[in-house]
Amino acid sequence: MLSLVTVLPRIMLGAEAPVDGLALGQRLPTMSILPFALLLLAIALLPLLANHFWEHNRNKAIVSAVVGVPMVLYIGWLDYHAVLHTLHEYVAFIILLGALFIISGGVLVRGTLAGTAPVNTGILALGAVLASFIGTTGASMLLIRPLLRANSARKNVQHIVIFFIFIVSNAGGLLTPLGDPPLFLGFLRGVPFFWTMRLWVEWATVNAVLLIVFHMIDSVLFHREDLTTPGDLDKEVEEHRVPLSVAGKRNLLFLAGVIVTIVLCGHLQPPVGVQEAGMLLMAGLSLWLTPNDVRTENNFSWGPIVEVAVVFAGIFATMIPALAILNARGNELGLTSPAQFFWATGALSSFLDNAPTYLTFAAIASGIAHTDANNLSQLVVTPSGEALLTAISAGAVFMGANTYIGNGPNFMVKAVAESAGVKMPSFFGYMAWSGLILLPTFALVTVVFFR
C-alpha cells in the first residue's frame, strides 16, 4: 500500500523521471478507470438513495476525496507531472467558474418579465447568442436568475432549467473560441479565431430545433398549469411582471475584464498563473465594489460554487487514467468519418472533460490528414481535415449537454436552480430528458452535416 510519506515527495520533488502522457496511458490498466466510474455512480445514485447525506457539500467532498486521493497518489507515483498538470487545469477551471459566478452574482436585474412561453423562448435565444461571446458559463450565470424570477409565479419550472442547460450552457457556445474551453484550446493550437464562425449553420440548426421544441413543451405545460391553478394564470403571470432595472452594472465591466484576460493570455502566452491572477482580480473587485445588499437581494450564496468545486475535484482526479488511456489508444478506435468523430467526441465529452477530449480526437484527425497535431491550422486547410475538425468541435460542444457533468455550467445552473427552490431531476432523470430531446437532434445533425 502506497503511503503519503513515500508518494508526496515524489509528486512534489520528482524523485523519478516523469513518464510522458502517451507512455502513461500505455502503462495504466483498464481497471484504473474504475474510481471514475464509481464517482459517476455516486453522483447519480446517492441523491436518490441517501438524499439527506448528499445534500451537504461536506459529504460530497468526503466522497470525492475517498475515490480521488488514492488515484492522485497512484498516478503521482507513476508520473507526478500528470498530477501537477491536472491540478493546474482544475485550479484554472474553478477560478474561471468562480470568477464568473461572483461577478454575475453582483448583477441584479430588478423586476421581472412575464414567464410565458414566448418570453422564456426569447431569453433562451438571447442566451444562445451570448454564450458564444461571453462563454457558456458567463451567459448561464448572467441569465439563470432573471429567468427563474420571471417564472416564479409558475409551478412547473423544471423543464425550463433543463432546456436552459441544453441551449445556453452548451449548444450556444459553438461560434467562437470564447464560447467553450475546447474551442479555446483549438485556438491556442492554431485554429484561426474566426474559423468557428463557419459552424453557424450547425449552431443555428441545433439551437433552432431546441428552441422550437422548448416553445411547444412550455406552451403545453403553461396552459396545463392554467387548468389546475385557481384564477387566470395568464393574468397572474402578467401582473407578476415588474418593470426591469439593473443594479451592479459595473460588474459587466468586470465580466468583460475576464474575457479580455482570457483572450490576451491566449495570444501572449504569459507565465503560468497570470491568467488566473487576472480573473481573481476581476472577482475581487466585484466583491469589493458591489454593495452587499445587491448580492443579498440577488439571493447570492456560496453553496453552488462550493458544490461544483468539491464534486469536480473528484472528477478531475479520477479522470486522469481515462484521458491518458484515450490519448494512448485512441488510434485503435478505428475512426475515419466525420460522423464517427462527432459521436465519439460527443460521447466521451458527456462524461469526461471536453477540452482534452477535443485535443485527443483532433490529434487523431491530424494523423489521418497527415498534418501536425500541434498546429491545427494545417488541419483546417485540408478538406478532409476541416470536415473532421468540424465534427469534433460540434461533438465536444453540443454533447456536453448530455449529462450534468458534461460541462461545468451544467452543474452550476442545477445548483442555482435548486437553491431557488426548483426541484431538478436526478442524474439519470436528466439523462432521460437529454436522451429524449438531444439524441434525436444530434441524429438529425449527423444526417444533414456529417454523413
Continuous H helices in 79-116: 80-104
Listed as own residue / partner, the contacts of 163-166 with beta carbons closer than 8 Å and 24 or more positions apart are: 163/124, 163/210, 163/213, 163/214, 163/217, 163/218, 163/437, 164/124, 164/127, 164/140, 164/413, 165/140, 165/401, 165/409, 165/410, 165/413, 165/414, 166/210, 166/401, 166/434, 166/437, 166/438
pLDDT, average across residues 217-238: 67
Please give the mean pLDDT across all residues of the chain.
83
Pair 362, 379: CB distance under 8 Å? yes
Supply the pLDDT for residue 377. 84
pLDDT at 13: 39
pLDDT tens track for 232-252: 555 555 555 556 677 888 998
Can you give the residue ranges of every domain in the chain? 33-449
Q: How confident is the model at residue 177 (pLDDT cuts 50, 70, 90)?
A: confident
Residues 408-425, buried b or exposed e (16+ Cβ, 10 A)?
Answer: bbbbbbbbbbbeeeeebb
Count of residues for the chain?
Answer: 451
Q: What percent of the chain has pLDDT over 70?
A: 88
Residue 48 has pLDDT above 60, yes or no: yes
Q: What is the mean pLDDT of residues 26-40?
A: 86
Residue 170: closest CA among 221, 119, 132: 132
The mean per-residue pLDDT over the stretch 76-103 comes to 84
Residue 189 confidence class, pLDDT cut points 50, 70, 90: confident
Which of 13-22, 100-109, 191-200 has maximum average pLDDT?
191-200
Q: How confident is the model at residue 343 (pLDDT cuts 50, 70, 90)?
A: very high
Q: How many angstroms separate the CA atoms of 378 and 9, rounded?
A: 41
Helix, strand or coil for residue 80? helix
Does the structure show a pLDDT above 90 at 391? Answer: yes
Judge whether residue 383 has pLDDT over 50: yes
Which of 65-74, 178-187, 392-401 has the weakest average pLDDT?
178-187
**In sequence order, which residues have a C-beta less than 8 Å from that of residue 233 and are 6 or more positions away?**
153, 154, 222, 225, 226
110 — alpha (psi -120 to 50), left (phi > 0) or beta?
Answer: beta
Please give the Cα distance from 330 to 363 (Å, whole number): 9
Q: Give the C-alpha separation, 223 to 325, whole Å.
A: 50
pLDDT band at 382 (very low <50, low <70, confident <90, very high): confident
Q: How far apart are CA 123 and CA 140, in angstroms?
A: 11
Residue with cell 460588474: 251
Q: Region 108-135: what's the mean pLDDT?
A: 86
pLDDT-derived band at 16, boundaries 50, 70, 90: very low
- 14 pLDDT exceeds 50? no
pLDDT in tens, 316-332: 888 888 777 776 776 67
Q: In whole angstroms, what is the distance from residue 447 CA to residue 322 CA?
A: 30
Average pLDDT of the segment spanning 92-96: 83
Given a cut of 50, whether residue 274 has pLDDT beyond it is: yes
Interatomic CA distance for residues 228 and 76, integer angstroms: 58
The structure's pTM equals 0.77
User: Cα angle vertex 41, ends 40, 42, to 5°?
Assistant: 90
pLDDT, tens only, 298-317 = 778 888 888 888 988 988 88
> How do 242-247 and 108-112 pair as beta strands?
antiparallel
Give 280's pLDDT tier (boundaries 50, 70, 90).
very high
Tell me what pLDDT residue 147 has.
92
Q: Is the pLDDT of residue 277 over 60?
A: yes
- At residue 6, does pLDDT exceed 60? no
Q: Please determine, for residue 372, whether its predicted confidence score (pLDDT) is greater than 70.
A: no
Residue 234, pLDDT score: 56
Q: What pLDDT score does 87 carry?
A: 87
CA angle at 286 for the pair 414 and 143, rounded to the nearest 5°: 35
Given a contact cutoff of 8 angstroms between Cβ atoms, the answer to whether 348 and 357 are in contact is: yes
